[in-house]
């Protein structure tokens, strides 16, 4: 069995003592039940695949892909088994051994490796929404006649009629006042096209906190979707391309507004190349320079909020109630969870209230919400219930796919709570010039 990453998976598999602790923490096991629905069960199958005792099959693929890769099992394993990476290793074997659907090849090797093609696709999607066809089909119930997965896509897809961030943000944004840092800002696929207000706010906030910000041109997808689907070779090519561009200038940091992108640069690039290789050394250098935007603002710049004008009721200043959802790729992959909360608490007029199980997976996991929709919704419903108990006006998160999932869940529940990134609220405190 060829490992997905440059790690000794034989030794990793030996670490599992089959204690079952992972089952108590897995957000899917409580929904699926049965050993194949547990991390322990999946690892047992990966071990047999590794030893050649079982062969790649569609049934095996269904089990290994029914995993959120949320890392909950890994961080709670008393033996330190990196369960999620072992699952990825199994997926890599399946990808190499079995014929893959054309749509998967088109997405991973086409749209997500060619920014111009992705831009064209998003433009068409925007026109589809702008013309009112989307609204018409929704009201007419014609979507119900579509294949299940396509139907889900149309329901979850957010507004893509706005201009992408790449066309809205200058390549270079100077620091306001004294320049402390020169940072590269990575525009990920999702925030660039689906949530352009997030990077616009991120660049603004960094600038107001002493950063010269360069939204580096020529970068491609970080490669996270490719690794999640076992397409390691393409992920490696994307890594080489992005590292060459991101390391060609001497930036103080690489800042990301997407938890999955920063996690990829910090956690996975170093495992794509053999130690001692030029690419491995580049990956180590990029790893050391990568920060989630909240992490960089709190640990490096020392956050400085502006003065947000709050509405008043009866002569008293009204505070806006805000809560926060931890993306799996931020808290468990990068150990970043205090920083977003510190940002929210620093904003004038914000009443930050913690929700129950804020770090429990929302069920999105990229395309998991589409491929395993019913199961994903069961996980999401618990998250939405906990969020609504806080009764917030804003539910904040640091991941675009989480934002998409949470927005959909709130809409289904009939809630008017808005989902935003913490830096969007912070950006509102700075006066426009």
Task: Check residue 294 and give its pLDDT.
Answer: 97
Q: At what angle do helices 373-390 and 148-156 cross, to 10 degrees?
A: 30
| Lowest-pLDDT range of 49-63, 92-106, 263-277 | 92-106
Residues 321-352 pLDDT 10s: 999 999 999 999 999 999 999 999 999 999 99
- What are the phi and psi torsion angles at 99 (to 5°)? -65, 135
pLDDT(122) > 90 = no
Residues 153 and 134: their CA atoms lie apart, in Å, by: 12
Average pLDDT rounded to a whole number, residues 157-161: 74
Whole-number average pLDDT of the chain: 88
Task: Check residue 426 and give its pLDDT.
Answer: 96
Residues 22 and 406: their CA atoms lie apart, in Å, by: 25
pLDDT(153) > 80 = no
Phi-psi region for residue 162, left (φ > 0), alpha (ψ -120 to 50) or beta? beta
Residues 60 and 55: their CA atoms lie apart, in Å, by: 8
3-state secondary structure of 118: helix
| Lowest-pLDDT range of 234-248, 254-268, 357-371 | 357-371
Residues 134 and 31: their CA atoms lie apart, in Å, by: 33
| Lowest-pLDDT range of 46-50, 129-133, 246-250 | 129-133
| Lowest-pLDDT range of 111-120, 233-242, 395-404 | 111-120
Two structure tokens written together for 34: 């049965």
Return the closest-CA partner of residue 236 out of 269, 262, 264: 269
Nearest 5 degrees, angle CA 185-CA 187-CA 191? 130
Cα torsion at 96, 81, 8, 45 (round to 10°)?
-40
Task: Provide the CATH number for the domain formed by 9-97 in this structure.
Answer: 1.10.1060.10
**Sequence-ordered list of residues with C-beta below 8 angstroms from that of 145, at least 6 positions apart, any chain:** none
Return the closest-CA partner of residue 159 out of 192, 193, 204: 193
**Given pLDDT bands bounded at 50, 70 and 90, which one contains residue 177?**
confident
Percent of the chain residues past pLDDT 70, beyond the cut = 87
User: Sign of the C-alpha dihedral, residues 404, 60, 88, 80?
Assistant: positive
Residue 292 bridge partners (DSSP): 256
272, 239 contact by CB (below 8 A): yes
* Fold classification of 312-427 (topology level): Rossmann fold (3.40.50)
Two structure tokens written together for 45: 């199958």
pLDDT(304) > 90 = no
- Sequence ranges of the domains in the chain: 9-97, 102-156, 165-301, 312-427
Task: Check residue 411 and give its pLDDT.
Answer: 94
Residue 214 bridge partners (DSSP): 172, 184
3-state class percentages of the chain: helix first, strand second, coil last, to nearest 5 = 55, 10, 35
49, 98 contact by CB (below 8 A): no
Residues 215-224 pLDDT 10s: 999 999 999 9
**Sequence-ordered list of residues with C-beta below 8 angstroms from that of 203, at least 6 positions apart, any chain:** 169, 173, 185, 213, 215
Query: Domain 165-301 maps to which CATH number in 3.10.450, 3.90.25, 1.20.1050, 3.40.50?
Result: 1.20.1050
């Amino acid at each position: 069995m060829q490992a997905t990453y440059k790690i000794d998976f034989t030794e990793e598999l030996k670490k599992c003592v089959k204690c079952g602790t992972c089952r108590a923490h897995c957000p899917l096991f409580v929904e699926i039940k049965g050993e194949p629905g547990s991390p322990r069960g999946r690892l047992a199958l990966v071990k047999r695949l590794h030893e050649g005792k079982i062969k790649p099959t569609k049934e095996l693929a269904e089990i290994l892909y029914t995993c959120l890769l949320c890392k909950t099992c890994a961080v709670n394993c008393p033996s330190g088994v990196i369960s999620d990476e072992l699952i990825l290793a199994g997926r890599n074997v399946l990808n190499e051994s079995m014929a893959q659907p054309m749509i998967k090849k088109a997405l991973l090797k086409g749209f997500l490796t060619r920014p111009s093609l992705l831009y064209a696709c998003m433009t068409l999607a925007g026109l589809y929404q702008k013309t009112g066809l989307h609204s018409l089909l929704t009201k007419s119930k014609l979507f119900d006649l579509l294949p299940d997965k396509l139907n889900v896509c149309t329901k979850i897809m957010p507004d893509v009629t706005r201009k992408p961030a790449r066309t809205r943000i200058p390549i270079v944004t100077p620091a306001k006042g004294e320049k402390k840092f020169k940072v590269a800002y990575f525009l990920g696929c999702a925030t660039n096209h689906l949530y352009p207000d997030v990077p616009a706010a991120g660049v603004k906030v960094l600038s107001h906190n002493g950063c010269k910000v360069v939204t580096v041109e020529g970068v491609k997808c970080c490669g996270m979707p490719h690794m999640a689907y076992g397409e390691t070779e393409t992920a490696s090519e994307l890594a080489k391309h992005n590292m060459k561009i991101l390391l060609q200038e001497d930036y103080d940091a690489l800042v990301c507004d997407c938890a999955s992108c920063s996690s990829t640069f910090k956690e996975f690039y170093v495992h794509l190349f053999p130690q001692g290789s030029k690419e491995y050394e580049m990956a180590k250098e990029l790893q050391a320079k990568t920060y989630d935007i909240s992490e960089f603002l709190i640990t490096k710049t020392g956050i400085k909020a502006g003065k947000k004008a709050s509405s008043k009721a009866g002569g008293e200043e009204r505070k806006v109630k805000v809560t926060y959802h931890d993306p799996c790729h931020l808290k468990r992959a990068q150990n970043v969870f205090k920083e977003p909360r510190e940002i929210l608490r620093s904003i004038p007029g914000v009443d930050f209230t913690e929700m129950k199980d804020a770090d429990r997976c929302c069920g999105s996991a990229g395309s998991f919400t589409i491929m395993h929709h019913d199961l994903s919704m069961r996980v999401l419903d618990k998250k939405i219930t906990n969020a609504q108990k806080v009764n917030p006006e804003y539910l904040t998160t640091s991941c675009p796919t989480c934002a998409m999932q949470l927005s959909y869940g709130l809409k289904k529940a009939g809630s008017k709570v808005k989902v935003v990134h913490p830096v969007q609220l912070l950006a509102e405190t700075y006066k426009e010039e």
